Structure 1
Amino acid sequence: MNESDVQTIEVALGARRYPVWIGRGLLGDSARWRARLRGRHALVVSNTTVAPLYLERIAQGLDGLHWSSFLLDDGEAHKTFGNVGRALEALATSGATRDACVIALGGGVVGDLAGFAAACWMRGIDFIQMPTTLLAMVDSSVGGKTGVNLPAGKNLVGAFHQPRAVVADIDTLATLPDREYRAGLAEVVKGAAIGDATFFAWLEANTDALVRRHTTTLVEAIARKVRYKAGVVARDETEQGERALLNLGHTFGHALETAGNYTALLHGEAVAIGMLLAARLSERLGMSEAPDTARLQQLLDRLGLPVARPAGMAPEQLLALMRLDKKNTAGTLRLILWRGIGKAQIVTGVEETAVLETLAEATSVNAASGRATAS
């Protein structure tokens, strides 16, 4: 592994620091990541799709340690308390002590659940994120948010628990289905839409290269998004203020995911629709201008992402789910909106009438393409 080919971004949280490594061949570079393990025990949490592809590579790096694996079925629907309990039982069976490490090998579901299990075992042990999806590389693997879903809503239970390291091996993206890859691009766009108009313009200029998965362009996009998020997390680790801005589109998006029973939409697809709904609501409230909304919709569309509420999800149902969002305060909606590209803002006391009107705008799913389209 040529060190010059690896981008290293440090997440600094006071005296606590950890690296995010981005490059090729990193899963097999055990000399790099094994040094982050402090004890003799390790549990690799993965899923039935990823493990056959990459678990053996990790196993080679764990030679000589007491390690085992715990596999989930693939999909958001499996990010449950029941599976956290099974992961904890796997730690117990292995005899894991307080210096054990959980390794999350997979996408955001695996990372969130594995990190939560690590936060719970003996009140907190180490874990390492090894994201294998673009969405996890640019978002969920960085910042220490862990948790599980409930039938009532997404990520309603969890803990802040920072990893020891993040190992983002972009070779894993070669096996990522096109739909999953495009869903990850939504989180890249989100970072630019929140706080970096220059990055947004760069994405507009490099859309074709990103869709083709051009290596240099892809590494640059991942690194820029991770640097931005690392800075926000360093200033507001537990989301008391600025970090909430990273949830642009998420209140809408989580409601969409829940309404679809975590199977109708991928997380990134829901975020894409949610961002556009947030932009339209901002415009409705007089906070932003139509040209910015149009630029966002055009970029999302060029990246192959859905841009409208799927048919069958009623505005009233979505609003009821939005009322359960963690960001709400004192029984009122607290949303992340914007004043144009790169200027996100926390807005409290949002009128539900305006939200309903935004949700009710004519939208449908194009049955021929399976993509959501706006009227």
Structure 2
Amino acid sequence: MDRLYINLGRKSYWINITDNLIDGIVKNIGHGDRWIIITDENVDKLYGRSVMDALKGKTVQKYVIKPGEASKTISTVTEIISYMLENKMTRKSKLIALGGGVVGDIAGFCASIYMRGMEWVQIPTTLLAQIDSSVGGKTGVNMPQAKNIVGTYSQPKSVIIELNVLNTLDRKELISGIGEVIKYGVIYDHPFLNYIVENYDKIMKLDHDTMRYVIKKCCEIKAYIISKDEREEGLRKILNFGHTIGHALEAITNYKKYTHGEAVLIGMFYEAKMALNMNLIDKSYFIDITTAINKTNINLDISEYSKEKLIEIMAHDKKNLKDKISFILPCDKGKVKELLLSKEEIEWDEV
């Protein structure tokens, strides 16, 4: 088992990377007077019973939501909280988020507000969740106007990552995770970006040693960033590369066309184009970035969407300041910086 420490003082915790889900749960789950598992229908069919068995002898409840971003709403949170009250969960109870990013965001949000806060554990089952959304304590739900506009910072007590669960992912979900993997190479580690391109076929085949390295590397980068800036007041902002345009694409399509990682891939492409047009990067580095993105064969054509409407959605982003829209743009190999742009200053070329 590989372990990484998220150093946040009294809120510190371990990321545990294991080949055995049950063993990982037994060793790293901690204590609680009652337990509730939050998962979705797809994950429940695959792992719901195994996790319940791992908690044998404990008082355990399970709440299953419909999969997808459409479930990430205040009404879903209200239903879960009501269920927790009906089943006598207390502050000393513990919540388990078993699933991808949507489950983790909703479950963590519920844990953070139930009786003003209870302990919770992340068991991410998608690549995207394992290397990104399960680490760092961001929780939240969507509103029609914007993604993740309602939420909290609530660090889990531990994260349990099992490599073998990735074998159940379809290509779309795997590509979604690779979008966030590529992001780490652009924002922080250019040699890692080269590694992704050179080992892309192994990643797609879920080669065990390759995936262990990729997941650990991404978690190491995020662990460092979170330890320096938990609440996104400075360094943590770099994690938003590709997300300004990406979140707008998710919203304009009602969260139904793109997975989060697909939207981020497209967002990274156009934000890299913006950086090129603004002379923040040269053509050679732009090609480095787009070579990695194009490995996924993602359709980058977004001409069917009104650029004005996309920018209007971006204007609701919580990261904006003084009527200017926040973009994280590449400025050198493995480096990015924040630019605050007016609506008039936002421009990108179509594919």
TM superposition score normalised by structure 1: 0.91
Partner of 1:24: 19
Partner of 1:353: 344
* Distance in 1 of aligned mates of 2:55 and 2:324: 49
Partner of 1:336: 328
Q: Contact 1:46–1:70 (CA<8 Å) still a contact in 2?
A: yes
**Counterparts of residues 156-175 of structure 1 (less than 5 Å):** 156-175=149-168
1:218 corresponds, among 211, 218, 226, to: 211
Matched, 1:48 2:41: yes
Q: Contact 1:67–1:94 (CA<8 Å) still a contact in 2?
A: no
Matched, 1:313 2:308: no
Letter in 1 for 2:43: V
Matched, 1:297 2:290: yes
**Counterparts of residues 43-82 of structure 1 (less than 5 Å):** 43-82=36-75
Partner of 1:177: 170
* Distance in 2 of aligned mates of 1:220 and 1:304: 23
Q: Contact 2:142–2:148 (CA<8 Å) still a contact in 1?
A: yes
**Counterparts of residues 224-239 of structure 1 (less than 5 Å):** 224-239=217-232
Superposed CA offset, 1:72-115 (max 9, x none): 10111110001111111121011011111110000000000000
2:181 corresponds, among 158, 182, 188, to: 188
Shift of 1:258: 0.2
Letter in 2 for 1:285: M
Look up the SS of the partner of 1:71 in the other structure: strand
* Distance in 2 of aligned mates of 1:51 and 1:13: 32
Superposed CA offset, 1:119-145 (max 9, x none): 010101011000000000000000000
Shift of 1:312: 2.5
Partner of 1:3: none
Look up the SS of the partner of 1:58 in the other structure: helix
Shift of 1:21: 1.1
* Distance in 2 of aligned mates of 1:302 and 1:145: 29
Matched, 1:273 2:250: no
**Counterparts of residues 109-258 of structure 1 (less than 5 Å):** 109-258=102-251
Shift of 1:221: 0.4
Q: Contact 2:197–2:291 (CA<8 Å) still a contact in 1?
A: no
Letter in 1 for 2:321: T
Look up the SS of the partner of 2:12 in the other structure: strand
Shift of 1:27: 3.8
Q: Contact 1:43–1:69 (CA<8 Å) still a contact in 2?
A: yes
1:263 corresponds, among 251, 256, 262, to: 256
- Number of residue pairs matched by the alignment: 351
Superposed CA offset, 1:308-340 (max 9, x none): 243421111100001111110011112111113
TM superposition score normalised by structure 2: 0.97
Where in structure 1 are there 5+ consecutive unaligned residues?
Answer: 1-5, 363-373
Q: Contact 1:27–1:167 (CA<8 Å) still a contact in 2?
A: no
Superposed CA offset, 1:189-225 (max 9, x none): 1011001112112212211211111111011001000
Partner of 1:97: 90
Where in structure 2 are there 5+ consecutive unaligned residues?
Answer: none
Letter in 2 for 1:12: N
Partner of 1:12: 7
* Distance in 2 of aligned mates of 1:354 and 1:272: 22
Q: Contact 1:182–1:304 (CA<8 Å) still a contact in 2?
A: no
* Distance in 2 of aligned mates of 1:319 and 1:237: 28
Partner of 1:368: none
Letter in 2 for 1:50: V
Q: Contact 1:11–1:17 (CA<8 Å) still a contact in 2?
A: yes
Instruction: Please list every run of at least 4 consecutive aligned residues from structure 1 whose deviation after the TM superposition is greater than 4 angstroms.
Output: none
Q: Contact 2:43–2:98 (CA<8 Å) still a contact in 1?
A: yes
Q: Contact 1:282–1:339 (CA<8 Å) still a contact in 2?
A: yes
Between stretches 170-179 and 131-140, larger displacement belongs to 170-179
Shift of 1:354: 3.9
1:285 corresponds, among 259, 278, 293, to: 278
Look up the SS of the partner of 1:292 in the other structure: helix
